[in-house]
Each structure stands twice: as C-alpha cells, then as structure tokens.
Chains A and B, each alone.
Chain A
C-alpha cells in the first residue's frame, strides 16, 4: 500500500491507497482555527499540523485496517504551499520511509490534484483538459499523460479563485471561509444586477481576479451600508457570476485552442453549483471527482506517487520542500 501525507496548507491529510488506485483510507483533519482570522495563518497551521499528524496517521491506518508493515511506498507533498506547513508532513514522511528503508516519493501538489482523477472507481484517463481552482491555486493544464504537470496553459496572475470567493464574502460581511456562504447568499439574488469585470479583454489563458475584488469594494462603498445590506444577495450573485465567468472564458478558450473534448476539474471551487452548471453546458465529457477528492487530500498525493519515480532509500534523506514555482525533479 501507498501511505501519503499532505500538509501544504491548513488541512492535515493522510491516505492509504493500493498500487492500482483503490482508496483504503483518506483522512482529512480540517483546521477551523483560522476562521476567526479571515485567512490561513501559516504559523498556526504549522502548529496544528504537528499536533494532529500522529493522530491522523494512526487514524488512517486504523480505517484502512493496516499497519506500517503493509506500506511499500511513502509519499508526501513537497510543494508548492506554505513552507512551514509543508515541512511538518514532508519531514514525517521521509522519516517514516527511512526507518523502514522504504522508497519515498516527493510529490508536487498540483500533480496531486490532477492525479485525483486516476483513482478508482471513477478513473478518468488522459488526455484531457484540467481546471484546478482552489483557495491556493487556479490553473488550466493540458493533461496528456499521468505524470507531473507538463503543459501548463494558464494560471492566475494574482489571487486564486477561492481567494476571490473569500475576499468577496468578507466584503459582504460573511464569515471565513466564505465560498459556501457566498454561494448560499447568491442563490436568492440576481446575477445580472451588477456588472463585475471578468478580465475578458486579457488575452490568453491566464486568470486575474484582483480587478473583480476591487470592483466589489468600490461598489459596496458607492452603495453605502444600508443599500449594500438591502442588495447583498444581488451583489453576491453578480460577484459569483463574475468569478465563474472569469473561469469559463478561459476554459472555453482552452477547449478551442487544444481541441480537447474532455475536461476534468479539481480544487475546492469545484464544489460551486453555478460553476458546475456552466461546465455541464459545455457539452464536453466532464469529470468532477467526489468533493473530498477535489479539496486537498492525501489520496490524490498517493495517486500521483504512482506516476513519478520514487527515490530508493537513502537517496531522499536530504530532500527539502519548495514554496512555489521551481519544481526540481
């Protein structure tokens, strides 16, 4: 079995899967301590990871009905993500592997999101176009094989889509995380009430949400407190519509540019109902993994570990994490 650890942001995740991609355990311990700060606090997330990880590892083993003796490969997220948070899971993963002289796979987090599609029972095989949209990343990739992200078509130049949801929710006085609350509020509003920017004139396949967030801020100021309150649902619906359109414009362009007829989506934003509805209207073969495989999880990291070379013991002892861009192989 493959044991995988994912601690790149604020979820402490451990999973066990079989080499052919059947999930035996996929334990996700979400840290709600960040809610009152209105965003993930790296130092708090890292402290939580350290205290939760041993518990989550034993829980995953218990759920799988396995012991470490059943593990043949250990994997952990190497990056991108919050360095201090990554280091907890990555250090633990290396040590678990080393003590048993097992091979170790240092997995790219984005490869993990793609590899969530390769898990049983709903395997979705390449080639396909992938849209990954979460609080940490927003990107489009042309997926031609099972390996790490090779053909990145576009990514966000500023905020991530999930971040845009959170920031909008905050401006409308909703809590953190704000995606679900904003969607619920939007359900009773008119998406055409206000026209928010979708960076449509920006060419190519990159995303930008900074202008959208600023536009909402100015609109809220312009309306004033009582009017903003009165029209909250319309503001939420119009804002959500603009986020979804920003994503959809690039998805349509990418489908046109690549000629792809199959599309997979991942990341926490994949839970959004308006986005799902819009994607279904595209008329392409669509794959949306189960919710717990869309958000950050260990099973996707274990899945990715099957499609990249693992390092034999002791070649990985000196491996370190990375925070962004650079992806040393």
Chain B
C-alpha cells in the first residue's frame, strides 16, 4: 500500500510517501521522506502554509507518480500548534475530497514514539506545548506505538507534572527514553526523574511522516472528517469589544 503523509504539529513541515508492506508489520519498502524546518522569526509563525503543498508535490514528482499511484492519505492530528494542525488537516481533507483517497488521522505523539525505536523501555513522546507546558503520551515496554494504545494517554502537563509522570514511568518500567522538542526543552526535569533524553540535535526528536505512513497503513480510514487533537480549550478573547 502506498501512503502519502504529512505532519505540521511542530515547526517542522514533514512529508513522506511510502510503500508499506502489510504482512511484514508495516515495514517500509520505498522511502521518500522530505522535511523542511524554518525557525519562525520572533513573533512569526511556522511556514507550513508556504511549505506544505509544495513539499507534497515535490515528493510526488520525485517518486515519479501522480495521485493515481497513491492509495491512502495520512495527516498528523497533533497535539501541536493550533494553526499548524489546521493547515495540515484542512489540506489533507481537501486533498482527500479532491482525489477521492481515504484519509487517516494519526496522533503526532504516536508517530514520534514509533520513531524512537525504544523497544524494551518506556517511550515518552514529549512536544513543546509553549506557555511553559508540554504535551506527552507514553508507551510501556512491549506496547508497540504502531498499534497499542498509549499507557499514558495524550495530555498537556506543567514541567512538575511532566517530571512526576516521568518518575512514575521510571519506577514502574525502568529507564524510559523521552524524545521530541519538548523532551529537549524539559531535559533537566526529565533527566532528574531518571529519564534518558538523546542529544539535542538527534534526529529522534523530530517527527518523521514515515511513521504516519506505517500507522495509517494499519488503521481504518476516517468515515467522516478528521478532528485535530487540541488538548487545550481555546482562548476565549474576542478580537474587539
């Protein structure tokens, strides 16, 4: 099955097109993986609006295939920056409508955890939620993020709560691994709770849309529209008034 996926939950615009071998437990056969990251200028926003569709078409062109050779679409549903999630999901839904392809929404935290290859240790996917908080989901050893529900479901946490969950994971399941831009940001809190965080520049901290392709190949496509996982209520401040 050929899956085209993208994720815009973080500052990274990640896209991938993969041939997935079902019987081999969603192994990747052919890999086209593109990602762009532009550090937003202070007060600016990530460049998903400019990058996303251009990367999708670059991917299709590189693979030498049109939409007729794609079987399924997948999109990261977060949690992450609200506007980023909406750019990704609005684009994915419109592509699905326009091409007639089935669409699967994939948790960005699940994709991140799957890419960590933690195997026999707890995997904590942690994203920077800004405002001094973090998004977290975690999988206990033996629970494969590919298809298992997270042991610690997606939640938004203060650094103190994050350290508490991390300490609990360490106590119950031994030496967890934490990845993601939130793990980098809250390295001190996590390490003091007995969690390993790979070096700041490790690629394991970055969401790769390859993982979305694998997860989407095993999932059932959405019957209706795909919903973002905001995890936070909106700020209820009117524009004027």
Name A's B-contacting residues (CB within 8 A).
34, 37-44, 46-47, 49-51, 53-55, 57-58, 68, 82-84, 87-96, 98-100, 159, 163, 166-167, 170, 176, 314, 317-321
Given contacts A43-B235, A57-B97, A99-B67, contact A317 B83 (CB under 8 A): no
Provide the bound-state CA to CA distance between A50 and B90, in Å: 6
Interface pair A87/B227, CB less than 8 Å apart: no
Interface pair B240/A39, CB less than 8 Å apart: yes
Contacts A50-B228, A53-B90, A96-B95 known; 10 new A-B pairs at CB < 8 A: A43-B234, A47-B82, A50-B86, A55-B225, A84-B83, A87-B86, A95-B92, A99-B99, A167-B241, A318-B54
Residue of B nearest to A53 (CB): B90
Minimum CB–CB distance from B31 to chain A (whole Å) comes to 23
Provide the bound-state CA to CA distance between A321 and B56, in Å: 19
Interface pair A38/B50, CB less than 8 Å apart: no
Give the chain B neighbours of A87 by CB distance below 8 A.
49, 83, 86-87, 90
Q: Is B23 an interface residue (CB 8 A)?
A: no
Give the chain B neighbours of A99 by CB distance below 8 A.
67, 94-95, 98-99
Instruction: With a 10 A CB-CB cut-off, give which of B51, B52, B90 has the most chain A CB atoms.
Output: B90
Of A44, A83, A88, A159, the contact of B90 (CB 8 Å cutoff): A88
Name B's A-contacting residues (CB within 8 A).
45, 47, 49-54, 56-57, 67, 82-83, 86-87, 89-95, 97-99, 225, 227-228, 230, 234-241
Interface pair B93/A314, CB less than 8 Å apart: no
Minimum CB–CB distance from B4 to chain A (whole Å) comes to 11
Given contacts A43-B82, A47-B230, contact A95 B225 (CB under 8 A): no
Provide the bound-state CA to CA distance between A322 and B54, in Å: 19
Minimum CB–CB distance from A48 to chain B (whole Å) comes to 10
Nearest 8 CB-CB pairings of A with B? A39-B238, A99-B98, A95-B94, A39-B241, A43-B234, A92-B94, A91-B90, A317-B54
Query: For the complex, would chain B's binding face be called helix, strand, loop or mixed by DSSP majority?
Result: helix
Give the chain A neighbours of B67 by CB distance below 8 A.
99
Give the chain A neighbours of B228 by CB distance below 8 A.
47, 50
Interface pair A46/B97, CB less than 8 Å apart: no
Interface pair B82/A84, CB less than 8 Å apart: yes
Q: List 24 A-B contacts (CB under 8 A).
A: A37-B236, A37-B238, A38-B241, A42-B239, A43-B234, A43-B235, A43-B236, A47-B234, A50-B89, A50-B90, A51-B225, A53-B93, A54-B225, A83-B45, A83-B83, A84-B82, A87-B86, A87-B90, A92-B90, A94-B94, A95-B92, A98-B53, A163-B240, A319-B50
Minimum CB–CB distance from A33 to chain B (whole Å) comes to 10
Minimum CB–CB distance from B38 to chain A (whole Å) comes to 12
Minimum CB–CB distance from B81 to chain A (whole Å) comes to 10
Minimum CB–CB distance from B50 to chain A (whole Å) comes to 5
Give the chain A neighbours of B53 by CB distance below 8 A.
94-95, 98, 317-318
Given contacts A94-B53, A98-B57, contact A41 B97 (CB under 8 A): no
Provide the bound-state CA to CA distance between A276 and B241, in Å: 26
Residue of A nearest to B8 (CB): A91
Provide the bound-state CA to CA distance between A98 and B67, in Å: 11
Interface pair B239/A68, CB less than 8 Å apart: no
Of A49, A51, A91, A170, the contact of B91 (CB 8 Å cutoff): A91
Provide the bound-state CA to CA distance between A83 and B92, in Å: 19
Minimum CB–CB distance from B209 to chain A (whole Å) comes to 16
Interface pair A34/B238, CB less than 8 Å apart: yes
Provide the bound-state CA to CA distance between A47 and B78, in Å: 14
Interface pair A318/B234, CB less than 8 Å apart: no
Give the chain A neighbours of B82 by CB distance below 8 A.
43, 46-47, 84
Residue of B nearest to A102 (CB): B98
Give the chain B neighbours of A92 by CB distance below 8 A.
90-91, 93-94
Interface pair A41/B98, CB less than 8 Å apart: no
Provide the bound-state CA to CA distance between A39 and B241, in Å: 6
Provide the bound-state CA to CA distance between A49 and B86, in Å: 9
Minimum CB–CB distance from B230 to chain A (whole Å) comes to 7
Provide the bound-state CA to CA distance between A167 and B92, in Å: 39
Given contacts A88-B86, A91-B49, contact A38 B95 (CB under 8 A): no
Give the chain B neighbours of A34 by CB distance below 8 A.
238
Give the chain B neighbours of A176 by CB distance below 8 A.
241
Give the chain B neighbours of A94 by CB distance below 8 A.
53, 91, 94
Residue of A nearest to B47 (CB): A320
Give the chain B neighbours of A53 by CB distance below 8 A.
90, 93
Minimum CB–CB distance from A117 to chain B (whole Å) comes to 27
Minimum CB–CB distance from B93 to chain A (whole Å) comes to 5
Give the chain B neighbours of A88 by CB distance below 8 A.
86-87, 90
Of B87, B237, B241, the contact of A170 (CB 8 Å cutoff): B241
Residue of B nearest to A34 (CB): B238
